[in-house]
Amino acid sequence: MNSVALLSAAKDGILTGSVYALMATGLTLVFGVMDIINIAQGILVILGAYLSYALQLHWHIDLFVGLLITTPTMFIVGVVIERAFIGRLKGPEKTAMSILVTYAVSLLIEGGLNMIFSVNDVQLQASYVSKSFAIGQVHFGFIYVAGFILAAVLLGALYVMLYRTRFGMSVRASLADQASAALVGIDVRRVSTITFGIGVAVTAAGGMIYGATNSFNASSSYDLISRLLTIIVLGGMGSLGGAMVAGIAMVFIGDVVGVVWSPVWSTMAYFVVLILVLLWRPQGLFGRASARVA
Amino acid sequence: MKHGNRRYLRVLSATSLAGASLVTMVGASGASARSHASSPVKIGISLSLSGDFSADGQAFQQGYKLWAADINRAGGLLGHKVVLDIKSDASSPTQVVTNYQALISNDHVALTFGPFSSLLSLPAAKAVSRYGYALVEGAGGAPSVFQAGLHNVFDVSLPVADDLMPFAKWVTSLPAAKRPKTVAFVTSNDPFTEPQVTTIEPLLRKAHIKTVYNHVFPAEVTDYTSIADAVAASKPQAVVLGSVDVPTVSAFMQAFEQSGFSPKVFIATGGPDQGSTFIKSVGLKNANGMMVPNAWYGGSANPLSRVMVAQYVKKYGGTASQVSSDVAEAYSVGEVVAQAVKATGGFNNQKIIKYLHSGVTLQSVQGPVRFNGLGENTVPTAFTFQWQGAKFVQVNPVNDRNSVRVLYPKPAWGK
Amino acid sequence: MRARNLWWLVALAAFGVFPLVVTNPTYTTIAVFSVIFMACASSWNMFSGYSGYIALGSAAFYGSGAYTMALLSIHLHMAPGAAMFWLVPLGGLVATVLAVPIGWIALRVRRHTFVVITIAIFFVFQLSAINFGFTGGTSGLNLPFITWGYQYYNVPFYYVGLGLVIFATALSALVRRSRFGMQLLAIRDDEDRALGLGVRTHAVKVTGFALSAFTVGAAGALYAMFVGQIYPQFVYDPMFDISIALMTFLGGLGTLTGPLLGGLVLEAGQQYLTIQFSNGSLYLILFGALFLLVIMFMPQGVVVYIRDRVTRRAERERAAVSANDAAAGDAPPPAGDPPAPAGVAHDVAVGGVA
């Protein structure tokens, strides 16, 4: 067994996994607060990537600088989607309906992106995208390290916002119980809109890193969303920390199995772990026990 | 510029007309005298204009349209103007089945051309065969298509298994001192790539090129980086990547560069042949030295191909190196059918099927085409191509007069 | 309720004679795909609509049915032809058997998590089909080629598919009237309460889940035989579940006619529109926009929407009459009542109480 390969795989799992974790955070936050499953998260990541692409192509704006523009833009996109469609959903079938509504939204965005950017794959380019540094024999790509730092900073910021601010308190109250939150005077409607906006805003950074490390077109979103969904189930739906652990676990398990055994089994190994974990803890690693039936 | 182009074209077509290979054009222009009073002829095609195969589907559409424009400029098919009836199948086999039936029984098309990908070709061919129509296609060389035992399916392109042979011949013929000592085989789990890679592994081994990595990875893997890192850690001097698309190749290239690993030889079975899409994803500098096996490239010396490429560049812009091989595959379908129509003197599908099975050799932009009983093309030449600077050139077979020297060893990334 | 039975008979007769009247193979092909999806949507609704547990992994059963058909017809060296239809119920049986352990695992969690777990299980099936040797891997499987002429080819498939539709609908109707069906509905309304009342919820859910897998598996087998070639990504297709869920929601979740109507309109409409629109991107946008409109304006589905409209008008007329009789007092429910909660189909809610 080649130890360099094993160390590299572990490094890849953690770095790439953190970006998945960031994208999944938006999904799990929205689910936890609103009981909404946002199937459009995948295509929104791609939209975020295309925004960075367009800024770079037309105005030569650096990928990281561009985030200052794309993140607020994606936030607004999220707020608009929430106000226009999601906020109107009510009743016991809200969660299931949200899957359909966000799926329809993702079709609209996919069609639009195909029209504007064509279906040919593109990738974000920058001088630093393919550069790296080495520690021992293990090489670290700058873009992956940057993705890791970005994910850590944004997740940290989310954490601070949730646990150290008044707004965060309202979010957490809504997470726990919407009806009671409304009773103590929290504007649940406003909290929901902003939460959805934040959940979508993280796709700007996630999309940029994804677009710089993968070539993509609009239909790449289908692979993305299925992975993001499994991450939030493994982590426990509604749990931020769970999304982080599960995002990294997903890529880490696949990568290490790929080196130790064979890449053929990398994806399968993750799904088997997922099912085993769910047998043991149906609510996921960090999910609330109330998610479980008896 | 435009004038120069025209003249270049005229000279080209004059020379190529002299060549015996121009069956189509001669036939078409001979027929053009009768074209005045005849009605248009409809050709039905289902293409994936959205969904998974959309990138290739759109390139195929360009190829088919280019062929139709060219044949109409030359007077049409037997004097009939060609009209393409293209329906989108959204990359779904269900829709493909419906589409071909609608094309035949509602739109009353006279002929059918194939969709993109073997995955859709087979359901399409089965549906079409019930109507006694021929399905001539350009992208469906997977063994499963021919094993189905259908009598009406013909693939004008190269059957996939032997694609890498010229490359293997070249590598093993290098003097022992220069020859790579080690090789990594890494291939996606796919009916197009695995046969190619398994064919050449023993040949390389016989030439004392040691296999240091040999793994298959699933088609929808989450993270290519770790697989690429594992390949890099085994430090092979040659890498054979079984890929079907640009994203896979691009992910491996990026990961290799980041781990400071640059093999002396890097060949990928699909991706580098996608012209501008490939360049846009990986950057021109990184493409330098990348190799790919195929039957055709934009710089092909085939006179038919040169005319087509010139037309393509005129219509869509770019350079010859940036024309996707999908375009040529689609274009060849049109050419082969046109020759069959001309030879049988009409649009009778039974006669066309019989003619295509008769062992006759036809010409296309991809070179000669001759079908065996299964509908495979038995006479195509496999080539290896390489990006050298901004150009995509032919490097194998070494003894072919149009091949240039292989850029070996491959320059370091970005050089 | 005579009138309702009459409508069912009329619909059945219309479907029965369809391929005799419309002989164009394009439309009979669309009809075959439509009955396949109607059967799946109806069967899916029997579990997900009644219990409230939205499953998005039914493609696992569809695919397993398809592989059952393909593997058996190939390895038994079956002569291509009508005998292969016997494998259709077998495909359903295999799906049912697989559904028991899957349901046992997946149904231990609440409904929101269940949705995603079913997706994960589905991916395990798809990946297995891609990676194991006996499935033919990514090359897929090529079934014995049936050489019936194009004029008649679709017709037998249509009738077998129609048989599946009738089976699924009859099963749905039976379940709804049974004690077992009441228990499913009770779980949907309030699972903890149902548990408290002594309903063995887990067993009931797993049984419903397995029952509903049967028709989906059989439909998958029929699809494989019809198309003649299967690939893992096409029979284990995540879009399959989105489609049948959309069909059911569009028609009316939990209703008997809703999934049938949704399946018919959506599959036939989608196929027909795709033929008409050669621009894939524009098609996606139109399709998405149409969905949004229907979901936003008829959140309970078309069937419930129309029924509510009809009842409300009747009530309004009655209200107008009684308003004349008695000036005020015991006024009937006003027409401007807050609408029923989204997605709660009226007849099920009533059935749950009855």
Instruction: Find the residue in A nearest to B245 (Cα).
Output: A121
Angle at A285 between CA A282 and CA A287, to 5 degrees: 70
Inter-chain touch A104–C288, beta carbons under 8 Å: yes
ipTM of the complex: 0.80
Q: Which of residues 71-90 of A touch C (CB under 8 A)?
A: 85, 88-90
CB atoms within 10 A of CB A117: 17
Per-residue confidence (pLDDT) for residue C280, from 0 to 100: 63
Greatest mean pLDDT among B124-133, B270-279, C341-350 lies in B124-133
Task: Say if C178 is an interface residue toward chain B (CB within 8 Å).
Answer: no
B282 neighbourhood in chain A, CB within 8 Å: 123
CATH number among 3.40.50.2300, 2.30.40.10, 1.20.1300.10, 3.30.70.360, domain B162-294+383-396: 3.40.50.2300
**Domain ranges, ordered by start, for chain B:** 2-160+299-369, 162-294+383-396
Give the distance from residue C91's alpha carbon to the nearest chain B alpha carbon, in angstroms. Answer: 19
Phi, psi (rounded to 5 degrees) for B137: -135, 165
Q: Are strands A138-141 and A132-135 parallel, antiparallel or unpaired?
A: antiparallel
Give how far Cα A214 sits from Cα of A21, B133, B239, B246, Å. 17, 42, 20, 10
3-state secondary structure of A61: coil
* Cβ–Cβ pairs < 8 A, chains A and C: 164
Mean pLDDT confidence for B2-15: 37
pLDDT at B374 over 90: no
Q: Which of residues 32-61 of B touch C (CB under 8 A)?
A: 48-51, 54
Mean pLDDT confidence for C112-117: 78
Inter-chain touch A94–C342, beta carbons under 8 Å: yes
Give the distance from residue B414's alpha carbon to the nearest chain A alpha carbon, in angstroms. Answer: 10
Per-residue confidence (pLDDT) for residue C299, from 0 to 100: 76
3-state per-residue secondary structure call for chain B: CHHHHHHHHHHHHHHHHHCCCCHHHHHHHHHHHHHHHCCCEEEEEEECCCCCCHHHHHHHHHHHHHHHHHHHHCCCECCECEEEEEEECCCCHHHHHHHHHHHHHHCCCCEEECCCCHHHHHHHHHHHHCCCCCEEECCCCCHHHHHCCCCCEEECCCCHHHCCHHHHHHHHHCCCCCCCCEEEEEEECCCCCHHHHHHHHHHHHHCCCEEEEEEEECCCCCCHHHHHHHHHHCCCCEEEEECCCHHHHHHHHHHHHHCCCCCCEEEECCCCCCCHHHHHHHCHHHHCCCEEEECCCCCCCCHHHHHHHHHHHHHHCCCHHHCCHHHHHHHHHHHHHHHHHHHHCCCCHHHHHHHHCCCCCEEECCEEECECCCCCECCCCCEEEEEECCEEEEEECCCCCCCCCCCCCCCCCCC
Please state the pTM of the whole predicted model.
0.83
pLDDT at B70 over 50: yes
Instruction: Find the residue in B nearest to A4 (Cα).
Output: B233
- Band (pLDDT 50/70/90 cuts) for residue A34 is confident
Inter-chain touch A16–B223, beta carbons under 8 Å: yes
Smallest Cβ–Cβ distance between A255 and the set B54, B223, B246 belongs to: B223
- Band (pLDDT 50/70/90 cuts) for residue B55 is confident
pLDDT at C214 over 80: yes
3-state per-residue secondary structure call for chain C: CHHHHHHHHHHHHHHHHHHHHCCCHHHHHHHHHHHHHHHHHHHHHHHHHHHCCCCCCCHHHHHHHHHHHHHHHHHCCCCCCHHHHHHHHHHHHHHHHHHHHHHHHHCCECHHHHHHHHHHHHHHHHHHHHHCHHHCHHHCEECCCCCCCCCCCHHHHHHHHHHHHHHHHHHHHHHHHCHHHHHHHHHHHCHHHHHHCCCCHHHHHHHHHHHHHHHHHHHHHHHHHHHCEECHHHHCCHHHHHHHHHHHHHHCCCCCHHHHHHHHHHHHHHHHHHHHCCCHHHHHHHHHHHHHHHHHHCCCCHHHHHHHHHHHHHHHHHHHHHHHHCCCCCCCCCCCCCCCCCCCCHHHHHHHHC
Report pLDDT digits (tens) over C90-112: 999 999 999 999 999 888 887 77
Task: Say if A50 is an interface residue toward chain B (CB within 8 Å).
Answer: no
Report pLDDT digits (tens) over C309-333: 888 888 887 777 776 665 544 444 4
Inter-chain touch C149–B130, beta carbons under 8 Å: yes
Say which range, B61-70, B153-162, B166-175, C279-288, has the weakest mean pLDDT.
C279-288
Tokens of B262: 């640059």
Per-residue confidence (pLDDT) for residue C291, from 0 to 100: 79
Task: Say if B217 is an interface residue toward chain A (CB within 8 Å).
Answer: yes
Task: Say if A142 is an interface residue toward chain C (CB within 8 Å).
Answer: no
B234 neighbourhood in chain A, CB within 8 Å: 2, 5
Per-residue confidence (pLDDT) for residue C6, from 0 to 100: 87
Q: How far apart are CA B95 and CA B127, in angstroms?
A: 11
Phi, psi (rounded to 5 degrees) for B404: -105, 170
- Band (pLDDT 50/70/90 cuts) for residue B17 is very low
Give the distance from residue A220's alpha carbon to the nearest chain C alpha carbon, in angstroms. Answer: 14
- Band (pLDDT 50/70/90 cuts) for residue B40 is very high
Per-residue confidence (pLDDT) for residue B412, from 0 to 100: 92
Percent of chain A whose predicted confidence (pLDDT) is above 90:
32
Inter-chain touch A105–C295, beta carbons under 8 Å: no
Count: domains in chain A: 1
Inter-chain touch A262–B229, beta carbons under 8 Å: no
Inter-chain touch B94–C145, beta carbons under 8 Å: no
Give the distance from residue B147's alpha carbon to the nearest chain C alpha carbon, in angstroms. Answer: 9
Inter-chain touch A259–B226, beta carbons under 8 Å: yes
Per-residue confidence (pLDDT) for residue B81, from 0 to 100: 94
Task: Say if C343 is an interface residue toward chain A (CB within 8 Å).
Answer: yes
Give how far Cα B213 sits from Cα of A51, A259, B183, B239, Å. 39, 11, 7, 9
Report pLDDT digits (tens) over A235-264: 887 788 898 899 999 999 988 988 888 888
The answer to whether C241 and C57 have CB atoms below 8 angstroms apart is: yes
Per-residue confidence (pLDDT) for residue C297, from 0 to 100: 81
Inter-chain touch C145–B150, beta carbons under 8 Å: yes
Q: How long, in residues, is chain B?
A: 415
Instruction: Find the residue in C nearest to B84 (Cα).
Output: C278
Per-residue confidence (pLDDT) for residue B342, from 0 to 100: 93
Task: Say if C138 is an interface residue toward chain B (CB within 8 Å).
Answer: yes
In terms of residue numbers, what domain contains C212?
22-302
Average pLDDT over all residues of chain A: 86
- Band (pLDDT 50/70/90 cuts) for residue C338 is very low
Task: Say if A271 is an interface residue toward chain C (CB within 8 Å).
Answer: yes
A267 neighbourhood in chain C, CB within 8 Å: 127
Starting from the edge strand earliest in sequence, which strands make up the sheet with B182-188, in order?
B210-217, B182-188, B238-242, B265-268, B291-294, B383-388, B391-396
Task: Say if C229 is an interface residue toward chain B (CB within 8 Å).
Answer: yes
The answer to whether C180 and C52 have CB atoms below 8 angstroms apart is: no
The answer to whether B18 and B67 have CB atoms below 8 angstroms apart is: no
Greatest mean pLDDT among A258-267, C198-207, C241-250 lies in C198-207
Per-residue confidence (pLDDT) for residue C335, from 0 to 100: 42
Smallest Cβ–Cβ distance between A132 and the set B51, B216, B258 belongs to: B258
Task: Say if A118 is an interface residue toward chain B (CB within 8 Å).
Answer: yes
Smallest Cβ–Cβ distance between B87 and the set C25, C149, C278 belongs to: C278
3-state secondary structure of A37: coil
Closest-CA residue to A113 (of A218, A41, A14): A218
C353 falls within a domain: no
Mean pLDDT confidence for C264-291: 79
B101 bridge partner residues: none
Mean pLDDT confidence for C77-85: 90
C8 falls within a domain: no
- Band (pLDDT 50/70/90 cuts) for residue C278 is low
Per-residue confidence (pLDDT) for residue C174, from 0 to 100: 95
Task: Say if A179 is an interface residue toward chain B (CB within 8 Å).
Answer: no
Inter-chain touch A263–B254, beta carbons under 8 Å: no
| Distance between first and last Cα of chain B | 31
Per-residue confidence (pLDDT) for residue C207, from 0 to 100: 96
Q: Which of residues 229-258 of A touch B (CB under 8 A)?
A: 250-251, 254-256, 258
Query: The domain at B2-160+299-369 falls in which architecture?
Result: 3-Layer(aba) Sandwich (3.40)
A131 neighbourhood in chain B, CB within 8 Å: 258
Q: How far apart are CA B243 and CA B266, in angstroms?
A: 12
Mean pLDDT confidence for A2-22: 88
Task: Say if B251 is an interface residue toward chain A (CB within 8 Å).
Answer: yes
Smallest Cβ–Cβ distance between A263 and the set B217, B246, B414 belongs to: B217
B385 bridge partner residues: B292, B394
C323 falls within a domain: no
Mean pLDDT confidence for A97-111: 88
- Band (pLDDT 50/70/90 cuts) for residue C341 is very low
A8 neighbourhood in chain B, CB within 8 Å: 226, 229-230, 232-233, 259
Contacting partners of chain B (3+ CB pairs under 8 A): A, C
Report pLDDT digits (tens) over A116-166: 988 778 888 888 887 888 888 888 989 999 999 999 999 888 888 888 888
- Band (pLDDT 50/70/90 cuts) for residue C348 is very low
Per-residue confidence (pLDDT) for residue A290, from 0 to 100: 55
Per-residue confidence (pLDDT) for residue C149, from 0 to 100: 86
Per-residue confidence (pLDDT) for residue C326, from 0 to 100: 56
Smallest Cβ–Cβ distance between A9 and the set B58, B226, B257 belongs to: B226
A105 neighbourhood in chain C, CB within 8 Å: 288, 292
A209: left (phi over 0), alpha (psi -120 to 50) or beta: alpha
Task: Say if C195 is an interface residue toward chain A (CB within 8 Å).
Answer: yes
Per-residue confidence (pLDDT) for residue C54, from 0 to 100: 87
Per-residue confidence (pLDDT) for residue B85, from 0 to 100: 93
Percent of chain B whose predicted confidence (pLDDT) is above 90:
45
Mean pLDDT confidence for C206-224: 96
3-state secondary structure of A140: strand
B255 neighbourhood in chain A, CB within 8 Å: 141
Mean pLDDT confidence for A164-192: 81
In terms of residue numbers, what domain contains A77?
3-291
- Band (pLDDT 50/70/90 cuts) for residue B35 is very low
Inter-chain touch A291–C113, beta carbons under 8 Å: yes
Task: Say if B95 is an interface residue toward chain C (CB within 8 Å).
Answer: yes
Give the distance from residue C51's alpha carbon to the nearest chain A alpha carbon, in angstroms. Answer: 11
Q: How far apart are CA C263 and CA C269, in angstroms?
A: 9
Contacting partners of chain A (3+ CB pairs under 8 A): B, C
A274 neighbourhood in chain C, CB within 8 Å: 120
Mean pLDDT confidence for A176-205: 85
Q: Which of B258, B273, B324, B413 to mutate to test the interface with A (most CBs of A within 10 A)?
A: B258
pLDDT at B14 over 50: no
Per-residue confidence (pLDDT) for residue B284, from 0 to 100: 87
Smallest Cβ–Cβ distance between C26 and the set B90, B94, B98 belongs to: B98
Smallest Cβ–Cβ distance between B49 and the set C24, C231, C278 belongs to: C278
